[in-house]
Amino acid sequence: MAIEKINTLNSLLVEQTTVQSNYLEREVVIDAYLPDGIEHPENLSLLLINDGQDLPHMPFEDILDRLISEEIIEPLVCVGIHCGADRKLEYGTAYSADYNGRGSKAGLYNKFIFDELLPFIRKTYNAPSFKEKSFAGFSLGGLSALDTVWNHASEFTKVGIFSGSLWWRRKAYEDGYNDEQDRLMHLQVRKGAFNPWLKFFIECGALDETDDRNNNGVIDSIDDALDLVIELKAKGYTDEHIRYLELKDGRHDVPTWARAFPSFLKWGWGLRKG
């Protein structure tokens, strides 16, 4: 195992290494964003981020470094998990693959997270535990993060979903698709339990897409996100648990998610307004 130092900033050290995954049958590249000068990492929170290969293009290290160094958020450890060639199979819902077979390795990806990645992080960074753990992701990676948190609520406190692929469905439109019965994540929430410690940050861009399957004048990504909020509230979650952020000029791209990420970090780990 070789750890490569990528960058050193005012309050942050960035390192890259690989984790050999037997479940995924590949090496998984991870970038660790580590607060500088922290002697007891077990006193910090851990944030896992799917599609970690997108973070340098924000650039995420500058966002995190500024917020920590200016004491806007508490120091936390962030780990960006690079996707592999089978991204559309590894991300998704472990509950079920979609109608086209995508997400068929989501269960294996969950095993990688809990049985390989988290033990690796604890051992490598001498952190037998963390104050709390959260998960975030973009697009399909956001759906994957939500699915993981929802189904392992005892392990997490927060989830960040940026332009999440909440349309993930078990039936194609031409096979009798129905909003209420066939969106896999909404279905899981409806059937699941209320865990009052969980919190949800959901970002959508008004320009995420142009599709409007029900012709109601609202793009599908926003419909799907707002319907998720409705399902969560029906389960018992309130505005104290849910932050919905809609960017009027937001698109399905890294620059939009870079604009939204500081709001997520301040919402989740803020020390003061800023």
103-158 residue pLDDT tens: 999 999 999 999 999 999 999 988 889 999 999 999 999 999 999 999 999 999 99
List helix spans (H) across the chain.
Answer: 60-69, 87-90, 106-111, 118-124, 140-151, 179-182, 184-191, 220-235, 254-269
Q: What architecture is the 4-269 domain classified under in CATH? A: 3-Layer(aba) Sandwich (3.40)
C-alpha to C-alpha distance for 150 and 139, rounded to whole angstroms:
17
Instruction: Please report the pLDDT score of residue 37 as a whole number.
Output: 75
Structural contact between residues 95 and 189, judged by C-beta atoms closer than 8 angstroms: no
Structure tokens at 187: 């279905």
pTM over 0.85: yes
Cβ burial, residue 226 (10 Å; 0-12/13-18/19+): middle
Question: Does position 58 have pLDDT exceeding 80, yes or no?
Answer: yes
Separation CA 114–CA 36 (nearest Å): 26
Residue 227 buriedness (CB in 10 A; 0-12 / 13-18 / 19+): middle
Say if CB 202 and CB 242 are below 8 A apart: yes
Residues 6+ apart with CB under 8 A from 169: 98, 99, 177, 182, 183, 184
Q: CA 206, CA 191: separation in Å to the nearest integer?
A: 29
In this structure, the strands spanning 242-251 and 199-207 are parallel
Tokens linked to 41: 């990492």
Q: How far apart are CA 233 and CA 225, in angstroms?
A: 13
pLDDT over 70 (residue 6): no
3-state secondary structure of 190: helix
Instruction: Indicate the SS3 state at residue 30.
Output: strand
Structure tokens at 220: 């599908």
**Alpha carbon distance 93, 133 (integer Å):** 20
Mean pLDDT of the chain, nearest integer: 93
Q: Where in the chain are the domains? A: 4-269
> What are phi and psi for residue 135, nearest 5 degrees?
-145, 140
What pLDDT is recorded for position 7? 64
Q: Is the pLDDT of residue 177 over 90?
A: no
| 3-state secondary structure at position 205 | strand
- Asked if residue 274 has pLDDT above 60, the reply is no
| Rounded Cα gap, residues 206 and 221, in angstroms | 8
Is a pLDDT exceeding 80 seen at residue 249?
A: yes
Spell out the residues 6+ positions from residue 177 whose beta carbon is closer than 8 angstroms to its own: 169, 171
206 pLDDT band, cuts 50/70/90, is: very high
As a whole number, mean pLDDT of residues 73-77 equals 95
Give the separation between CA 252 and CA 207, rounded to whole angstroms.
7
In the chain, pLDDT over 70 holds for what percent of residues?
Answer: 96
Residue 8 has pLDDT above 70, yes or no: no
Which band of pLDDT confidence, cut at 50, 70 and 90, is reported for residue 184? very high
Confidence of residue 1 (pLDDT cuts 50, 70, 90): low
Residue 9 has pLDDT above 50, yes or no: yes
Give the span between the Cα atoms of 150 and 60, in whole angstroms: 25
